[in-house]
Amino acid sequence: MSNTKKDTAIPNSQLQNYHVPVLLNETIDGLNIKPAGIYVDCTFGGGGHSRAILERLNENGRLVAFDQDDDARKNLPADDRVLFVPQNFRHLQRFLRLHKITAVDGIMADLGVSSHQFDEAERGFSTRHDAALDMRMDQRQPVTAAAVLKSFTESQLHKIFEQYGEVTNSKTLARTIVQQRAVTAINTINELKQAVHSVVKGNPQKYFAQVFQALRIEVNDEFGALRELLQQSIALLKPSARIAIITFHSLEDRIVKNFFRSGTFAETEVDEVYGNKTESPLKLVNKKPVTAGTEELKLNPRSRSAKLRVAEKKA
């Protein structure tokens, strides 16, 4: 296999600082890469998975890398097999069509935020810093976390804290926010912590991590984008082509699991005699999700909640 276009321009230390890829070998093996194929990495980030895909492609292979965060652009290798699309992967089919691509040999996504996004204080993702409550992965989008806290009704806030954050006292939290925002603005991380300090339950760090996760998922409509990506992937995958998705949240994993099993987002109804009622256009490559091994868990704490599912388009 020829690999003459492999890039060496970006130092490894810069990429490792940006993000350490999780379940790297498992994902790449799962994709069963054809050297001359067309692959899509929907979540380029620091480019860890993309680089590993490129290593398995020959000079005829192509990689389309999506990332809605413009910061990811600086990690792009100087490799003319790569096409970068700085857009939300919910527009996958539209942008591939724009580049005259109608069928691909594999699609992957490593969901959520990168370590870089967490570490940049002014992005507002991390409970460790004080900054504006932003949390937009795509800075072109209008809705920030502060806007959600300002405009959502009590029941909408309750729903997101309960479903996306699994916050134990989500109802009380939502009520407190609505009461406090009438008295004082909640625009920054410290203002939010101050406004709700009286209702924090258990370990404050863990509590706020759950609150922040809920806000981040809502601001970026992460589950909506995932559903659109999965739906479009069916039309884009060639027969026997594979899709690999890494999730970090139980609801997100359930969306992927149900879709792979049934081709829909409904909880799969299993008929005792005939098996699944809905015929899926995909077949599972592994019945159970792949999780990180002991070595990776030791080296990268972020891998703890990672689940990889791989499916293959039926021929």
Taking the complex as a whole, the smallest distance from the CB of residue 132 to ligand SAM amounts, in Å, to: 18
- Binding residue for ligand SAM, selected from 23, 31, 49, 219, defined by CB under 6 A: 49
Rounded distance, CA 283 to CA 45, Å?
A: 28
Take residue 137 and report the two structure tokens written for it: 């992965």
Residue of 82, 214, 205 whose CA lies nearest to 148: 214
CA distances from 301 to 43, 262, 293, 296, 310 (A): 20, 32, 11, 8, 22
68 binds ligand SAM (CB under 6 A): yes
Q: At a CB cut-off of 8 Å and minimum separation 6, what does 32 contact?
A: 106, 242
69 binds ligand SAM (CB under 6 A): yes
What residues pair up with 315 in beta bridges, in sequence order?
none
Rounded distance, CA 32 to CA 242, Å?
A: 7
Take residue 159 and report the two structure tokens written for it: 């729903």
Query: Contacts with ligand SAM in 19-38 (CB under 6 A)?
Result: 19, 21
Taking the complex as a whole, the smallest distance from the CB of residue 68 to ligand SAM amounts, in Å, to: 4
213 binds ligand SAM (CB under 6 A): no
Query: Contacts with ligand SAM in 253-282 (CB under 6 A)?
Result: none
- Binding residue for ligand SAM, selected from 43, 180, 210, 247, defined by CB under 6 A: 43
Q: At a CB cut-off of 8 Å and minimum separation 6, what does 298 contact?
A: none
Taking the complex as a whole, the smallest distance from the CB of residue 18 to ligand SAM amounts, in Å, to: 7
126 binds ligand SAM (CB under 6 A): no
Taking the complex as a whole, the smallest distance from the CB of residue 106 to ligand SAM amounts, in Å, to: 14
What kind and span of H or E run contains 294? helix 294-299
Taking the complex as a whole, the smallest distance from the CB of residue 220 to ligand SAM amounts, in Å, to: 6
Tokens 């005829």 belong to which residue?
60
137 binds ligand SAM (CB under 6 A): yes
Complex with ligand SAM: residue 51 or 158, whichever CB lies closer: 51
Complex with ligand SAM: residue 113 or 173, whichever CB lies closer: 113
What kind and span of H or E run contains 40? strand 38-41
Taking the complex as a whole, the smallest distance from the CB of residue 47 to ligand SAM amounts, in Å, to: 6
Task: Look up residue 121 and give its DSSP letter.
Answer: G
If binding means CB under 6 A, how many residues of this protein chain bind ligand SAM? Answer: 22
Q: Could you list the residues that contact ligand SAM (CB under 6 A)?
A: 19, 21, 43, 45-49, 66-69, 72, 88-90, 110, 112-114, 137, 225
